[in-house]
Amino acid sequence: MQKPCYQKRVMVNIRSFAFAASMLGLVAAAPVFATTITSVSFTPAGDSPFTQSLTATFSGTQADLTGTISCNSETTCTGEVGEYFTSWNITSPTFTTIDISGNLSGETAGSGDLIIATIPEPFAVPAGEFSEPIFSGEITLLGAVQTNYILDLSLPAGQTLTIPITYSAIPEPTAQSMIGIGLLAMIGLIHYRLRRSRLATVLLRK
């Protein structure tokens, strides 16, 4: 005896559901090679007018330059603090931001430039607690990539700047995550059709 049409549809939908669920499991189990920072370093300028104690650290997709920079002089200190290097393993185009925050002692504001690929990005250094964006942009190169910037400052005499400068990356969605989203949508659609098929079966039996 031939199976009714709605029963065939139910069987096809169940097979499709099982296939989509198994594929989603494979995607979830597959390793994800996301964009990461692999190393950072900071080299103080040899003729810097500043007294500094800075440490470069990183974790995942964030790097920080933290510590203090002081102007131990009777006049304003202006010049290079040092150069900061960041090495990346980039698997997809990655949006990056650089921000500075912290505290400047005293009552007089300072200023600074972050020189990225010979282009200065100026930023304010207000007296007291502050937080300022410096740069945002996209890294489109893939693979092993090194970025660097030179930090220039102008600080009033006798004042100390306590920072971190934070370099953060936000990778764009990978092909793997997009496949997973597509499979989830497929499972949702099949689940909806299965519910409709079961409802049709109940109605026909009545």
pLDDT in tens, 108-137: 999 999 999 889 999 999 999 999 999 999
Query: What confidence tens digit (pLDDT) does each residue in 22-52 have?
Result: 554 544 444 444 789 999 999 999 999 999 9
CATH number, residue 102: 2.60.120
Q: Is 28 among the domain residues?
A: no
Statement to judge: residues 134 and 85 lie in one domain: yes
Domain that holds residue 198: 5-20+175-205
HSE of 3 in the Cβ direction (CA atoms, 13 Å)? Answer: 9
Statement to judge: residues 141 and 190 lie in one domain: no
Q: Is 29 among the domain residues?
A: no
Statement to judge: residues 73 and 137 lie in one domain: yes
Our count of domains for the chain comes to: 2
- Banded model confidence at residue 169, pLDDT cuts 50, 70, 90: confident
Query: What confidence tens digit (pLDDT) does each residue in 61-106 have?
Result: 999 999 999 999 999 999 999 999 999 998 888 899 999 999 999 9
Statement to judge: residues 49 and 75 lie in one domain: yes
Q: Is 27 among the domain residues?
A: no
Q: Is 12 among the domain residues?
A: yes
Statement to judge: residues 10 and 92 lie in one domain: no
